[in-house]
Amino acid sequence: MHVAILTLSLGILLGYLAQRSRMCFVGGLRDFILVRDTELLKGMIAFFVTAWLVYSLAGIMGLVNWQPPQFVSLFVGHSPSETGASLIDRTYPISFEKSQELKGSQSAGSNVTLNAQLPYALAIIGGLILGLVSVLANGCPVRQHVLASQGVQDSFFYLLGFYLGIVVFHLVTRPLLALL
């Protein structure tokens, strides 16, 4: 039960700060591209840099199982399976059975290349759709929660769709993904 208390308390703190700062991850990028306003973008960069520094320190001290990012290897042909970081392995929540299927197909050797490259393509396409739709929706999910709390009716409906999406994911999207 302590997990529930931890997440609730963190949510309250972040909700408070997010409302006061108007923070939005998508809004930061949008404002920078649209009007060269860097205020929200600085928040996103501060989040990344802080997390990266703390992960690095914790990794050096042996507090967390952390490997230095090897972004260069993205561009020199390492397959996801070599690094154990396939999107399907980490895709949530279809992780377990799909990762088994992936391993099975790789051992068969027939379509190794296709499956090895698929997570890269899915990551970029998925990120692109997420970014495009979030611009259309006028903010990332965190911002939509904040706006709904402030009384913006459009965000109520966004959250309604957001939570209906969980059911749709289990009934439609997940079976479709299993076909890949």
Partner 1 sequence: MRLLLKRPVNGYRQSPVIFGIVMGLFAVGYQIFFHFEPPPAYAICTTCHSHDMIAWLVNNLTTIQWDVAPVGASAPLLTPVGLLVGAFLAARLHREVHLVCLGRRWHGLIWGLVVMNVGLALLGCPTRLVLLSAYGDKLAFLAVIGLIMGVGIGTFLMKKGMIG
Q: Is 98 in the site for partner 1 (CB under 8 A)?
A: no
Instruction: Please report how close the Cβ of residue 113 comes to partner 1 at its closest, in angstroms.
Output: 17
* Contact pick of 47, 100, 104, 111 for partner 1 (by CB under 8 A): 47
Q: Candidates 63-71, 99-107, 108-116 — which segment interacts with partner 1 by CB under 8 A?
A: 63-71
For position 127 contacting partner 1 by CB under 8 A, the verdict is yes
Nearest residue (CB) to partner 1, 114 versus 164: 164
In the complex with partner 1, the residue whose CB is nearer, 109 or 151, is: 151
Q: What is the DSSP string of 7-38?
A: HHHHHHHHHHHHHHHT--HHHHHHHHHHH---
Half-sphere exposure of 171 (CA within 13 A, CB side): 5
User: What's the rounded Cα separation, in Å, for the pair 16 and 142?
Assistant: 11
Peptide bond preceding 68: is omega within 30 degrees of 0, i.e. cis? no
116 binds partner 1 (CB under 8 A): no
Of residues 142-161, those binding partner 1 (CB under 8 A): 142, 144-146, 148-161
Q: State how far the Cα of 76 lies from the Cα of 92, in Å rounded to an integer.
A: 27
